[in-house]
Amino acid sequence: MSVLVNKNSKIIVQGFTGTEGTFHAQQMIEYGTNVVGGVTPGKGGTAHLDRPVFNTVTDAVAKTGADVSIIFVPPAFAADAIMEAAEGGIKVIICITEGIPVRDMIDAKKYVDRKGVRLIGPNCPGVITPDEAKVGIMPGFIFKKGTIGIVSKSGTLTYEAADQVVKAGYGISTAIGIGGDPIIGTTTKEAVELLMNDPETEGIIMIGEI
């Protein structure tokens, strides 16, 4: 059992054809993550990185069965992208975008909570279950499979902690970057509880920011 994402997760990328979306989607695919398509309004029916592009999340979910979305959308539109993913049937939303207006995020947080959808981020590096799925911007080569879970508000400190855990002879079950913005979808406490309920996780590292 893994937390949030695993080898069976079907991932779509919102903002798929943009510069950031393209680069990180390619990295995720090369890692072995099951990226089944992407969403860019106005480009539905085309292909990108050998994956189909859809106009809406609803279309993408209907055609691919996607259950996880990662968002690379500019700050002004990212909250709407979060709500679109929740409305479209996505179960886990991972938002990488930094600088989303707080007012927008208050609305988006209320919306995903009403829908019972799990939101990670925004302003986060994503989630990785080593050797199964990398849904984010973290350098996958640092993470080796193991029994230590990581919950962190800091992206770079997540990578540093993972590197030290691996060098000490251990490995990572799942690493969750919860994000550093004022309004985030999943708190440190909630992320820790997910790992505490995971039989593959035997220890947890928590990293905050002051």
Domain residue limits, the chain: 11-207
CB atoms within 10 A of CB 202: 13
140 by Cβ neighbours in 10 Å (0-12 / 13-18 / 19+) ranks as middle
CATH of 11-207, one of 3.40.718.10, 3.40.50.720, 3.30.2320.50, 3.90.950.10: 3.40.50.720
Residue 41: which residues within 8 A CB-CB, separation 6 or more?
Answer: 55, 56
Query: Chain-wide mean pLDDT for the chain?
Result: 98
Tens digits of per-residue pLDDT, 69-109?
A: 999 999 999 999 999 999 999 999 999 999 999 999 999 99
pTM (two decimals)? 0.97
Give residue 207's identity as a one-letter amino acid code. Answer: I
Binning pLDDT at 50, 70 and 90, where does residue 155 land?
very high
Whether the pLDDT of residue 1 is over 80: the answer is no
pLDDT in tens, 24-44: 999 999 999 999 999 999 999
Residue 209: pLDDT band (50, 70, 90) is confident
